[in-house]
Structure formats: C-alpha cells, structure tokens
Amino acid sequence: MDIRTTGYGHPDAQQLAEEVQQEYVRRYGDMDVTVMHPDHFDQPAGLFVVAYLDGRPVACGGWRAKEPNEHGLREGDAELKRMYVAPAARGRGLARAVLRHLEETARAAGRTRLVLESGTEQPEALGLYASEGYQPMAGFGVYRDAPECVCMSKELPVIAGR
C-alpha cells in the first residue's frame, strides 16, 4: 500500500469521497451534508490522503483543524473526515494504516486531539476507532443531535521539543 498526500480536490480523492457518500446513502438513507471544501485540507491546517494498491485508489481519509466552540471542540482539535476503504480492499488493515498515518501527521502539525463524527450504522468504523483508543465525546457537528450520531475523540501525545 502506498499512502499519498493528494488533497481533497484530487480526482482520486473525489472519486472515493463520492463512493463514501453512496455508502452513507445505503446505510442512512442520505448523503452527509457536512460542508467540505478542498481548502479545508490544505497544509498546515489539514491534510487529505489516498491509499493505493497496485496503482489503484482504494482508501482515503483526512483531517482538518477545528476552532473551539460551545459544543466541546477546543484549541488544538482536528476533525477526521471521509475515512473510507473500497469494498474490494476491505479486511486488509488499510483503514487502520490510514488512520495511524493521519494521527501521525496531525500530531506533527501540532494538533493535540482528533475528533470525529460517525454513526450507529457504521459498526466497523466504530470498532476500529475504539480499538485505536478513541473515546465517546459530546456531539459537536452537523449531526450532533441525531440519534444515529456517535462522536469520538483521541488525545494525541505531544511530540518532545514542540
């Protein structure tokens, strides 16, 4: 697997983002309406990656810096977005590898916590996040009051010398 920083506007990232949107339609009945712009993932305030197997884009994910707010977001937070693995590539540890890569890059950029919105109809994602140390947190995003919404966070240890 080759993980490349592509940006959210890259054609491969957009193809996979459309696939994840269709996954949301299958699981929840509609697409995610969270506002997403390619510039949200511009470094150093964000990052978006695509993972390739045999030259084919098969997985993606990104993080973007978030501003503190009344819904529990705080200084140093970054939000995970559009974590996805194509069905034919699942079960190979790609999501875990992408997640760990995103954690490392967010930490290196000075982010101190990753937060995410997922949902009850994504048990595989919830299991992955829990196994990687993510804990439940108060709802913070567009879906914070939706009964299917599950928000999680993980503290990122500070790198020595920063």
Q: How confident is the model at residue 154 (pLDDT cuts 50, 70, 90)?
A: very high
* Residue 22 falls in which region: left (phi positive, over 0), alpha (psi -120 to 50) or beta: alpha
The SS3 call for residue 59 is strand
81-116 pLDDT, tens per residue? 999 999 999 999 999 999 999 999 999 999 999 999
Return d(Cα 59, Cα 16) in angstroms, integer. Answer: 7
Q: For residue 31, give the nearest of 119, 150, 101, 137 by alpha carbon.
A: 119
The SS3 call for residue 65 is strand
109-149 pLDDT, tens per residue? 999 999 999 999 999 999 999 999 999 999 999 999 999 99
Domains located in the chain, CATH noted: 2-155 (3.40.630.30)
Quote the pTM value: 0.95
Q: How confident is the model at residue 158 (pLDDT cuts 50, 70, 90)?
A: confident
